[in-house]
Amino acid sequence: MVRAKVSDIDRDNSAEKVEQILQGAMQEFLAHGFAGTSMDRVAAAAGVSKATVYSHFADKEGLFKALVERLARKKFESIFGSESLEGEPSQVLRQLGTKALQLMHVDQEHRAFMRVLIGESGRFPELAQVCVRAMHKPVLETLTQYIASHPELKIADPEAIARILVGSLVHFHITQDVLHGKDIVPMESDRIIDALMNMIVKSAQ
């Protein structure tokens, strides 16, 4: 009979506790915001002791940062995958844009967390900066590098185009989903994708 090493068991238990804490923290941050959430609340929601929470996270800011970084990794991998971007820009950029809008539309937890983050950004700007650093910067850098690697697009400023692409998708998501504006300024997502492709790809043909 093969027995697991004590260190392996400890790591498994630790990872399980971290997951419990993060899930409890997400529940509390969504319900009460950053300012209204305490480590006591997180511990109760996670079903662990307060000492256990502090053994993994030094403070509430560190816990919030860990949540943002986990969301950022999950979102990046779900859109870009684990491999470098390859293929024709007309196909790659269309697929990325379509997938991004679809995921933002259906991921209600991410949407709710973004509402909390934006709402708290005035009082806690450093938390909003964590989001920009962990979530937006890698996306912009990846797209900038991909666009720059395709000189046939004849784009003089790949970084600016990457920001225009991401900004258009995020603005569409915010107005349609986050701010509940789909009945006020309705538009099909395909129109946004088609317009972006015409601007970025077809203008170079």
Q: Which SS3 state, helix, strand or coil, does residue 119 take?
A: helix
Is 169 in contact with 100 (CB distance < 8 Å)?
Answer: yes
Is 127 in contact with 117 (CB distance < 8 Å)?
Answer: yes
pLDDT of residue 183: 95
Q: Give mean pLDDT, residues 158-173.
A: 96
> Could you tell me the pTM of the whole model?
0.85
Structure tokens at 14: 């630790």
Q: Is the pLDDT of residue 194 over 50?
A: yes
Structure tokens at 177: 């989903």
Per-residue model confidence as pLDDT tens digits over 22-60 = 999 999 999 999 999 999 999 999 999 999 999 999 999
Q: Give mean pLDDT, residues 153-180.
A: 94
Structure tokens at 182: 């789909």
Per-residue model confidence as pLDDT tens digits over 94-149 = 999 999 999 999 998 888 888 888 888 999 999 899 999 999 999 999 999 999 99
Q: What is the mean pLDDT of the chain?
A: 90
